[in-house]
Structure 1
Amino acid sequence: MVGIKWGMKLNKREALLKDVKTREAEWLTLLQNLIRFETPAPPARNTSSIQNFVAEELQASGCTIDRWPLYPGDEVVVGTKMGYENEKAPKLILNGHVDVAQVDESEPWQHEPFSPLIEDGYVYGRGAADMKGGLAGILFSLRLLNDYGISFPGDIYVQSVTGEEVGEAGTKSCTTRGYDADFALVADTSNLEIQGQGGVVTGWVTVKSRKTFHDAERQRMIHAGGGIYGASAIEKMMKVINSLQELERHWAVTKSYPGFPYGSTTINPAVIEGGRHAAFVADECHLWITVHYYPDEHHDEVIQEIESHLQKAAAADPWLRHHPLEFQWGGTSMIEDRGEVFPPLAVDESNPGVKLLKQAHEQVHKEAPTVSMSPTVTDGGWFSDAGIPAVIYGPGDLANAHAVDERVSVEQLRTYIQTLVCFLLDWGEID
């Protein structure tokens, strides 16, 4: 609690860290309960029940609850632990998502995805690593601190969101609803490294013919003297893909950012759709691309660079120059409109919240944490987009996220909770 002497605080800290160990069965049960809720996205629209559970947990820890629908069947819950001082006291966001990766019936799981099992020092189940383990850590840390009667000068907001797996930005809805803070900790999969991230934007490139031709007319389109000015949209899309590969290679040697391996600015041709029937020449083709960019870039600039490059390549083609490429970028849902944007997140190591988190990690692990850049994306970028300093810091590693027999280490989850407890204790001391 703020105001106690260091010796008293140290004793309370030691007692809290010991309790994390002795109450291990509690937080393991909490994680198992979270995993039992079947919340894969897609199909999504299935998180109301788990959000009821999370809201009850937060209320039991002294939080007031705000909740709203993101989509029918998918809700966002924010628990507020009210501070005891004025509005100038620093505010903190703890953020996690309850949706998990899709499970395909053909996947060879040894353990039922939504029937959690503890075995050989791991908790198995869909979402164990990404990221119900991190959310369980947040919920138990608040429960423990509440049991000790520890309060904070500024408000603490616990955001339990949905939509992260399919780009539906439940976290963004929190910022637009008015939740602001001095620092945000996103408990997503980082293997207990303090991380930022690049950005991601998806887009569709379309090649379209003004005319549709029967397959029997193809010979007149490709042979001298055939007399038909036409082309297959699928074949022309191959030129688009080749041009994207050229741009990707150019980026690999001209762009860089600290913490990222060279070549992290990728353009992935993820999905291709084209043609209508085997008896027709394809008159339309659509390419869905995923673009990764660095924190010092904005997706609008990246989009403009891609479009300019492709249009110049198209201008060199005798058919494409008269059939302009069409583009559709971003979106609010991979399910609803098949598009997404994840803003980047830079780590400011001079930020007081980052310094406290590094200090808390070192207190528990007896070594400084690694500060790195995630090769994937999380909701952390929405805080940066809203002007809120943030980091990604959670248990689990990406090798297990979205994987068959997904798992998280019990030991790592224990040290994660201990680090959160130390961080929250120190947070109350921020000036």
Structure 2
Amino acid sequence: MTENRRTELEALVTDLVSIETENPPGNERECAEYIRGWFAERDIGAKLVFEPDPDRPQVGVGVGEGSPELILNGHIDVVPAGDREQWDHDPYVPTIEEGRLYGRGSADMKTGVAIGMLATAQFADEIESGDLSGSIVFHAAIGEETAEPGTKTLLERGYDGNYGVVLEPTGFRTATSEKGLAWYEIRVDGEPSHASRPDQGKNAIVRSRPVLDALVEYDDAIRERTDELVGQAYATVTGLEAGTKENVVPEAATITVDRRFLPDETVEQIDREIDELLVDVEARHGIETAWERTRTYESAAIDPDSPLAAIFREHSEAIADAPTDPWGIEASTDVRNFVNDAEMQAITWGPGDLAQAHTYDEHVDLEDAVAGLEIVLEAGRDVLGGGSDA
């Protein structure tokens, strides 16, 4: 890869990371406008898509009319940086030290977005010149961090195709399946009273104990459910909120549960399990509860030996010495929208370490970024020039 291309990639990642796009609240607009302008400078038509949220545009690009069509997808929202005092590097002033670029979103996933942009521009040149027979589509999606339908909307609005690559950090491993994620809020009711007369009320925190015990037992049981590629199922209690004042017996408590589920489980099945668990607790302990599923990322899976996966494994091994065994990702990504909603062959793949996502001093190795771009270019040419071979 030329030195100019390396410099261009480093500069583009730096620019993207320097634009704060935290979600919540959903500050993607400035970054989306930057990306549209970047493509316009290269005479490539990029459109702002003002759905699903008119105040938070996303970007869609499509070049070519041939087949097959390859989609390169990335989300531009990032999780909040949190306590700035915990960062050794300002999260929005990208810093390069010892070959690493530090900043919020550097790993998750603005390096992937930058790679997608540069690869799309290169493929556009090769499609226009006739060197490639297929078409290239690029997504800069909103709302991935909060399970919003950014990518789903882009696919529905015509930015679709035959194959999709979600450029999340996987350390160059090719994920053909992923866990699902469902978040639940369980309300346990009590009755308030003054803490000087605690027996007059019904303490919602105390009444939460059997629910918590049942959730621990549920987690123990479902850990026996496993998938060869993505591992175990989990049900993890991640929050307990109750109380209004120090001297008031709380009238309600809210328990938050993070449920990670396998490709052969469904949210409808899990809803039933949560409901049955609470019905049993209510009957045995005489308490009142209510539950709500507040967020859902569906699980997704394709054939581990799919042609798209095989192409990316081949080039990842040749360029980055990446493992070639079938693999699934334990996190949740927008690949579910490709597989479940658009019914297309898609993988999650990219440079960088997923363990860096959402951390203080998040960073990406720039040599990995360069290798990632090279792999996308080589693999993408195989797909776009290969017709039915892909």
Q: Taking structure 1 as the reference length, what is the TM-score of the superposition?
A: 0.83
- Separation in 2, partners of 1:374, 1:43: 27
* 2:44 corresponds to: 62
1:181-220 paired onto structure 2 within 5 Å:
181-195=161-175, 196-209=177-190, 211-219=191-199
Give the Å deviation of 1:66: 4.9
* 2:328 corresponds to: 373
Q: Deviations over 1:359-379 (max 9, x none)?
A: 332342356535322222111
- Separation in 2, partners of 1:72, 1:179: 18
* 1:231 corresponds to: 202
- Unpaired runs of 5+ residues, structure 2, are none
Matching of residue 48 in structure 1 with residue 20 in structure 2:
no
* 2:212 corresponds to: 241
Number of positions where the alignment pairs a residue of Structure 1 with one of Structure 2: 382
- Separation in 2, partners of 1:111, 1:64: 33
- Separation in 1, partners of 2:50, 2:236: 34
Give the Å deviation of 1:133: 0.5
- Separation in 1, partners of 2:221, 2:85: 37
Q: Report if the CA contact (8 A) 1:51-1:75 is conserved.
A: yes
Q: Report if the CA contact (8 A) 2:186-2:255 is conserved.
A: yes
Pair 1:108–1:247, CA change in 2 (3 A) = same
- Separation in 1, partners of 2:348, 2:234: 22
1:124 corresponds to which of 84, 102, 106 = 102
- Separation in 2, partners of 1:367, 1:41: 32
- Separation in 2, partners of 1:305, 1:364: 45
Q: Deviations over 1:358-403 (max 9, x none)?
A: 2332342356535322222111122222122211101111221111
Pair 1:245–1:368, CA change in 2 (3 A) = closer
- Separation in 2, partners of 1:366, 1:191: 10
- Unpaired runs of 5+ residues, structure 1, are 1-17, 222-229, 330-338
1:161 corresponds to which of 141, 161, 177 = 141
- Separation in 1, partners of 2:321, 2:144: 33
Give the Å deviation of 1:130: 0.6
- Separation in 1, partners of 2:304, 2:387: 16
* 1:265 corresponds to: 233
Pair 1:416–1:369, CA change in 2 (3 A) = farther
2:299 corresponds to which of 331, 344, 348 = 344
Q: Which amino acid in structure 1 is aligned with residue 100 of structure 2?
A: Y
* 1:295 corresponds to: 263
Q: Report if the CA contact (8 A) 1:63-1:82 is conserved.
A: no
Q: Report if the CA contact (8 A) 1:204-1:286 is conserved.
A: yes
- Separation in 2, partners of 1:35, 1:150: 34
Pair 1:155–1:63, CA change in 2 (3 A) = farther
2:370 corresponds to which of 402, 411, 414 = 414
* 2:282 corresponds to: 314
* 1:23 corresponds to: 5
* 1:36 corresponds to: 18
- Separation in 1, partners of 2:338, 2:270: 20
* 1:13 corresponds to: none
Q: Which amino acid in structure 1 is aligned with residue 168 of structure 2?
A: D
Q: Report if the CA contact (8 A) 2:173-2:322 is conserved.
A: no
Q: Report if the CA contact (8 A) 1:38-1:114 is conserved.
A: yes
- Separation in 2, partners of 1:76, 1:151: 29
* 1:15 corresponds to: none
SS in 2 for 1:288: strand
* 1:383 corresponds to: 338
Pair 1:383–1:115, CA change in 2 (3 A) = same
Q: Report if the CA contact (8 A) 1:192-1:369 is conserved.
A: no
Give the Å deviation of 1:112: 1.3
- Separation in 2, partners of 1:23, 1:116: 19
* 2:251 corresponds to: 283
Q: Report if the CA contact (8 A) 1:204-1:327 is conserved.
A: yes
Pair 1:265–1:371, CA change in 2 (3 A) = same
Q: Which amino acid in structure 2 is aligned with residue 245 of structure 1?
A: V
* 1:3 corresponds to: none
- Separation in 2, partners of 1:101, 1:257: 28
Q: Deviations over 1:72-109 (max 9, x none)?
A: 542121111122x3xxx222211101111211234422
SS in 1 for 2:196: helix
* 1:354 corresponds to: 309
- Following TM superposition, the consecutive aligned residue runs of length 4 or more in structure 1 with deviations greater than 6 angstroms are none
Q: Report if the CA contact (8 A) 2:51-2:153 is conserved.
A: no
Q: Report if the CA contact (8 A) 2:302-2:339 is conserved.
A: no
Give the Å deviation of 1:405: 1.3
Cα RMSD, aligned residues only: 2.1
Q: Taking structure 2 as the reference length, what is the TM-score of the superposition?
A: 0.91
Pair 1:277–1:369, CA change in 2 (3 A) = same
